Amino acid sequence: MDIRDVGSFVAGRWVSPGARAREVACAYDGTLIARAGDGDWDVAEALDYARSTGGPALRALTFHDRARMLKALALTLQEHKDALYEISYLTGATKKDHAFDIDGGIGTMFVFASKGRREMPDHQVYLDGGTEQLGRTGSFLGQHICTPLLGVAVHINAFNFPLWGMLEKLAPTLLAGVPAIVKPATDTCYVTELAVRIMLESGILPDGALQFVAGGVGDMLDHLTCQDVVGFTGSAATAGRLRSNPNILSQGVRFVAEQDSLNASILGPDAEPGTPEFDLFVKEVSREMTVKAGQKCTAIRRILVPETQLDAVEAALSAQLAKITIGNPREENTRMGSLVSAGQRADVLEKIEMLRSEAELICGDPEAFAEEKGAFLTPTLLRCNDPDAAQRVHDTEAFGPVSTVLPYRDLDHAIALANRGGGSLVTSVITHDAEVAQRAVMGVAAWNGRVYLNDRDSMKESTGHGAPMPHMIHGGPGRAGGGEELGGVRAVKHYMQRTAVQGSPRMLSALGGRWVPGAPETSGGAHPFTRRFTELTPGETIVTAPRTVTLEDIEHFAAFTGDTFYAHMDDAAATRNPFFPGRVAHGYLLLSFAAGLFVEPNEGPVLANTGLDNLRFMKPVAAGESIHVRLTVKAKTPRNEEYGEVRWHVRILDSAEDMVAEYELLTMNAT
Ligand code: NAP
């Protein structure tokens, strides 16, 4: 096989590895496959290119433009999936493992593309929450906004997910409007490099949005400012070294760390042998130990089982692990490939030895494959009989197919042991007892970024203990790094500055591109329902004619709908109620009358009423009172070529101009 020169892409050009490049071997047969690092590129030039070329180009786009860009990138990577699969075998990963790294990475990008279009505006400013009224009359308001940082995101990634690890950070970064410099772990950087080449060659990204560094980053961290972000994934030891860089500390550079973690899985006291939960537990633990040969930050390292079930769990797990065939990851019948490198194998063996000072070997043979060139290791199950006295099992991460069974006395004991991990990415609880689940969550949540509950009801659709989902946060306190990634739009905010802006409604309307109550309203044109999506502007308002609500209306509505609630039917009972002066109109009657007052009935650009948000009934309406409606275009969100969503601010007012009800109406309007 040709030896691949893994170059760096800096300031718009590829730079070859230098004379002191690191050699990288194939994980499963030890042959030399790549050289990487030591290229002749300049840190200042890389940072400047990102800050002065990539950043402005990305910030000129809206969130929707950037979301479309992500979708195009994800589609391009998907087209090249076979090439990515092919090169990924060299890391020791099987085809099933590719589903996590390659499909998972591309899928994550698709989710961010979709969330960017659905949950973020077609605008450069993200409004974080609603306005706050800071003065008595509403002429001075506050609004939190998020805008992109003006620097660069430096992503330093771990070896175990060369593609997912890059894309799960890159997607929210680009969506935020911030350029990235990606530095993968050298052991698997050839996979990341191929994906970077595919993305760059697609021409989808503006210049400077993505740079790639193979090997070391030089003194880059010494030149970052508070406008930059470091997103680090790797071991606690490296994170500790990097985050204590004096410049990172003095400049207040954001440092998001995802570290290693001694994750636990708790078998509920109710989940005895013979229950679906017992079988589910054995399956999940065995899968977590062997997917990616256990090289997953979220893998289960500590298996907490009731002491009465110790033998049953060990027997079932050992039987399950014995079925795992180990070998060349390209072969169909291989269930588990190799570790990433001989160095990694040596490290895991060393950690197993440390664990054995507190735990006995239940299954697995550390000596197996000792003569092989490939970095193979058998799944290794240990048991620690005294988990209270033990320390190593709670703080030593053997980053391979290694896990330790710990017996617990009762649920409180299980919770205390789980928390001995000192902060984890995830703890799972396999139980069918909702009370056990609730107690366990309350006990472990503060020590975990994620808690995964699973039982017979959810097991078919459950996504797996170890799989971080783009919609849910990934990270964890303490030992896990104290960082937070993913979690939908939350992830995008890590690359933006949140700022409280205070000013008049007119100022805030202009800033956010959405009309704010109190800002000027325009009127006088054709009815807004006769105007197309593109023709409407926030602030356009119509005020309808009044309509008197009669007792007959109330009785008719009650009989027609079956809603004969006493407040609408029985004057004495309604009067006894603290909210009503006597019989009043149904709130839904008022909404229906409001629609009758403001709709334009003819076929036109309004295609559908798709919902209603934030409805509040503020003042009851008695028979004889009249209502009218003030309808204002609040915001517009393009959906596709054909139509977009219009958010209308609706106020139902009585004859004294008091607010009877207020809500936001959503319609789809033709473009
Ligand atoms: P690592 O040795 O800590 O390396 C992580 C990254 O840091 C690599 O890209 C490495 O580059 C880089 N690095 C090391 N020293 C550096 C320095 N002085 N300046 C700049 N960069 C430096 O971790 P790993 O062995 O790649 O990954 C395994 C670990 O990652 C495990 O402990 C696992 O639990 C953790 N992990 C955590 C998560 C999570 O989301 N929490 C996910 C995956 C993995 P080189 O490769 O070039 O040395």
Two tokens at 3? Answer: 């030896």
Domain boundaries, the chain: 4-259+491-496, 264-468, 521-670
Q: Which DSSP symbol is given to 546?
A: P
pLDDT band at 58 (very low <50, low <70, confident <90, very high): very high
pLDDT score, position 525: 80
**Residue nearest ligand 1's atom 34 by CA:** 260
Q: Are 627 and 590 spatial neighbours (Cβ–Cβ below 8 Å)?
A: yes
**Residue nearest ligand 1's atom 46 by CA:** 185
Mutation test residue for ligand 1: of 297, 473, 494, the one with most atoms within 8 Å of CB:
297
**Residue nearest ligand 1's atom 4 by CA:** 234
pLDDT tens across 625-651, in order? 999 999 999 999 998 999 999 999 999
Mutation test residue for ligand 1: of 24, 43, 157, 159, the one with most atoms within 8 Å of CB:
159
pLDDT tens across 281-333, in order? 999 999 999 999 999 999 999 999 999 999 999 999 999 999 999 999 999 99
Question: Does 524 have pLDDT greater than 90?
Answer: no
Q: Are 480 and 455 spatial neighbours (Cβ–Cβ below 8 Å)?
A: no
Q: If you average pLDDT over residues 470-479, what whole number do you get? A: 96
pLDDT score, position 272: 96
Q: If you average pLDDT over residues 332-356, what whole number do you get? A: 96
Question: Does 527 have pLDDT greater than 80?
Answer: yes
Calculate ∠ Cα 127-130-133, nearest 5°.
Answer: 125
Question: Does 1 have pLDDT greater than 70?
Answer: no
- What is the pTM assigned to this prediction? 0.93
**Residue nearest ligand 1's atom 9 by CA:** 185
Please name the helix (run of DSSP H) or strand (run of DSSP E) that holds residue 663, with its range, or none: strand 659-670
231 in the Ramachandran plot: left (φ > 0), alpha (ψ -120 to 50) or beta? beta
pLDDT score, position 371: 86
**Residue nearest ligand 1's atom 14 by CA:** 238
The class (CATH top level) of 4-259+491-496 is alpha beta
pLDDT score, position 260: 87
Atom of ligand 1 nearest to the CA of 217: 20
pLDDT tens across 244-271, in order? 999 999 999 999 999 989 999 999 999 9
Distance 1 CA to ligand 1 centre (A): 27
632 Cβ contact partners less than 8 Å away, ≥ 6 residues apart: 515, 521, 539, 540, 541, 648, 649, 650, 651
Distance 37 CA to ligand 1 centre (A): 16
Distances (CA, A) of 395 to 270, 403, 660: 28, 12, 60
Q: Which DSSP symbol is given to 433?
A: -
pLDDT score, position 191: 97
Backbone angles phi, psi at 177, to 5 degrees: 100, 25
Atom of ligand 1 nearest to the CA of 183: 9
The burial class, CB within 10 Å (0-12 / 13-18 / 19+), for 601 is exposed
Question: Does 370 have pLDDT greater than 90?
Answer: no
Distance 662 CA to ligand 1 centre (A): 52
Distance 239 CA to ligand 1 centre (A): 8
Nearest residue to 380 (alpha-carbon basis) of 326, 333, 422? 326
Two tokens at 399? Answer: 């980053």
Nearest residue to 568 (alpha-carbon basis) of 590, 546, 547? 590
pLDDT band at 372 (very low <50, low <70, confident <90, very high): confident
For the chain, what is the mean pLDDT?
96
**Residue nearest ligand 1's atom 41 by CA:** 258
In 411-530 the beta strands, taken as DSSP E runs, fall at 424-430, 448-454, 473-476, 483-486, 496-503
Mutation test residue for ligand 1: of 191, 220, 247, 260, the one with most atoms within 8 Å of CB:
260
Mutation test residue for ligand 1: of 233, 347, 350, 396, the one with most atoms within 8 Å of CB:
233
Nearest residue to 628 (alpha-carbon basis) of 649, 650, 653? 653
Cα separation of 511 and 109, whole Å?
Answer: 29
Question: Does 131 have pLDDT greater than 70?
Answer: yes
Cα separation of 570 and 583, whole Å?
Answer: 6
Distance 157 CA to ligand 1 centre (A): 6
Q: Are 622 and 582 spatial neighbours (Cβ–Cβ below 8 Å)?
A: yes
Atom of ligand 1 nearest to the CA of 216: 47
Q: Which DSSP symbol is given to 185?
A: -
Please name the helix (run of DSSP H) or strand (run of DSSP E) that holds residue 630, with its range, or none: strand 626-638
Q: Are 557 and 563 spatial neighbours (Cβ–Cβ below 8 Å)?
A: yes
497 Cβ contact partners less than 8 Å away, ≥ 6 residues apart: 146, 147, 148, 149
Nearest residue to 142 (alpha-carbon basis) of 153, 154, 129? 129
Distance 234 CA to ligand 1 centre (A): 3
Largest Cα–Cα distance in the chain?
94
pLDDT tens across 488-506, in order? 999 999 999 999 999 999 9
**Residue nearest ligand 1's atom 45 by CA:** 185
Distance 625 CA to ligand 1 centre (A): 70
Please state the separation of Cα 133 from the chain's center in Å: 31
Q: If you average pLDDT over residues 1-24, what whole number do you get? A: 93
Cα separation of 119 and 639, whole Å?
Answer: 11
Atom of ligand 1 nearest to the CA of 241: 18
pLDDT score, position 88: 96
3-state DSSP assignment of residue 662: strand
Atom of ligand 1 nearest to the CA of 187: 46
Please name the helix (run of DSSP H) or strand (run of DSSP E) that holds residue 108, with its range, or none: helix 104-119
Query: Residues with Cβ within 6 A of ligand 1?
Result: 156-161, 183-187, 217, 233-235, 238, 242, 258-260, 297, 397, 399, 425, 481
Q: If you average pLDDT over residues 93-120, what whole number do you get? A: 96
Two tokens at 37? Answer: 């690092």
Architecture of domain 264-468: 3-Layer(aba) Sandwich (3.40)
Q: Are 503 and 510 spatial neighbours (Cβ–Cβ below 8 Å)?
A: no
The correct answer on CATH 3.90.1310.10 for the domain covering 521-670 is: no
Two tokens at 231? Answer: 């997103």
Please name the helix (run of DSSP H) or strand (run of DSSP E) that holds residue 406, with its range, or none: strand 402-408
135 in the Ramachandran plot: left (φ > 0), alpha (ψ -120 to 50) or beta? beta
Atom of ligand 1 nearest to the CA of 485: 40
**Residue nearest ligand 1's atom 39 by CA:** 258
Backbone angles phi, psi at 112, to 5 degrees: -65, -35
Cα separation of 397 and 195, whole Å?
Answer: 29
pLDDT score, position 279: 97
Number of C-beta neighbours around residue 246 at 10 A: 9
Residue 155 amino acid letter: H
Distance 484 CA to ligand 1 centre (A): 16
High-pLDDT (> 70) share of the chain, %: 100
Cα pseudo-dihedral 193, 196, 197, 202, rounded to 10:
170
Catalytic residue set: 258, 297
3-state DSSP assignment of residue 112: helix
Number of C-beta neighbours around residue 482 at 10 A: 18
pLDDT tens across 175-227, in order? 999 999 999 999 999 999 999 999 999 999 999 999 999 999 999 999 999 99
Backbone angles phi, psi at 494, to 5 degrees: -65, -20
Distance 465 CA to ligand 1 centre (A): 22
Cα separation of 299 and 465, whole Å?
Answer: 8
